[in-house]
């Protein structure tokens, strides 16, 4: 996707596929999920502790909040994948991302904890993703906050995008530092 002038959506909005993904498309998206923790760690090191205390845009989250949010969000998504694979069209629980970003542990916990969590989580998640059958990719979950059903193919697209979306926010902080 071309860069967007909207600092809130620097890579634009995700486009969900109407049907199944090809094996090649899935492989590329799984690779993005697999590589994200190392990319985040690299960018966070380049930004530095002081830089991560700054918001990526006026009124936006700090770099620190973005990293902790990614751990929260991707942990939820991993759970949603597992629910979809073990239950018939489960209803997943939405959560208030803004409220979670303001909880005291976000300020008190070093970002290395969430980066380590993301490394372990993404390792486990990509192992699962590499072993899904075609039928399993079409398993679904219902998200009441969005009032829609998602296939695991669509969730893969959404969360690969989500990682790149927030990586771009952090890269923007790096650009501000220069």
What CATH number did the domain enclosing 147 receive? 1.20.120.450
Domain assignment present for 65: yes
pLDDT at 5: 67
3-state secondary structure (DSSP) of residue 140: strand
Domain range for 67: 23-177
Q: Which two tokens stand for residue 106?
A: 């976000």
Q: Which two tokens stand for residue 93?
A: 């629980």
pLDDT at 6: 85
3-state secondary structure (DSSP) of residue 39: helix
86's CB contacts (< 8 A; 6+ apart) are none
Closest to 49 in 3D by CA, of 92, 103, 107? 107
Domain assignment present for 2: no
Upper half-sphere CA count for residue 125 (Cβ side, 13 Å): 29
* C-alpha distances in Å from residue 15, one per residue of 42, 43, 129: 27, 26, 20
Domain assignment present for 34: yes
Q: Any idea which residue has 């952090």 for tokens?
A: 170
| Count of structural domains within the chain | 1
Query: What would the 3-class secondary structure string for 44-93 be?
Result: HHHHHHHHCCCECCCCCCEHHHHHHHHHHHHHHHHHHHHHHHHCCCCECC
Domain assignment present for 11: no
- Give, for all 178 residues of the chain, the pLDDT tens digit: 444 468 899 999 999 999 999 999 999 999 999 999 999 999 999 999 999 999 999 999 999 999 999 999 999 999 999 999 999 999 999 999 999 999 999 999 999 999 999 999 999 999 999 999 999 999 999 999 999 999 999 999 999 999 999 999 999 998 887 6
pLDDT at 1: 47
Domain assignment present for 4: no
What is the reported pTM? 0.95
Domain assignment present for 6: no
Domain assignment present for 17: no
Domain assignment present for 127: yes
Contact 43, 164 (CB under 8 A): no
pLDDT at 174: 86
Q: Any idea which residue has 């650009």 for tokens?
A: 175
């Amino acid at each position: 996707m071309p860069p967007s002038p909207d600092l809130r959506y620097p890579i634009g909005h995700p486009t969900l596929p109407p049907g199944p993904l090809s094996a090649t498309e899935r492989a590329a998206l799984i690779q993005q999920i697999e590589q994200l923790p190392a990319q985040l760690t690299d960018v966070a090191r380049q930004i530095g502790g002081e830089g991560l205390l700054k918001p990526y845009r006026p009124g936006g989250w700090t770099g620190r909040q973005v990293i902790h949010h990614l751990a929260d969000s991707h942990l939820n998504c991993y759970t949603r994948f597992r629910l979809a694979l073990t239950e018939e069209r489960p209803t997943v629980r939405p959560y208030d991302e803004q409220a979670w970003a303001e909880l005291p542990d976000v300020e008190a916990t070093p970002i290395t904890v969430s980066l380590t969590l993301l490394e372990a989580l993404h390792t486990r998640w990509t192992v699962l993703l590499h072993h899904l059958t075609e039928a399993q990719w079409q398993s679904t979950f219902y998200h009441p906050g969005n009032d829609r059903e998602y296939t695991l193919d669509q969730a893969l697209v959404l969360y690969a995008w989500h990682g790149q979306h927030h990586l771009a926010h952090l890269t923007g902080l790096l650009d501000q530092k220069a």
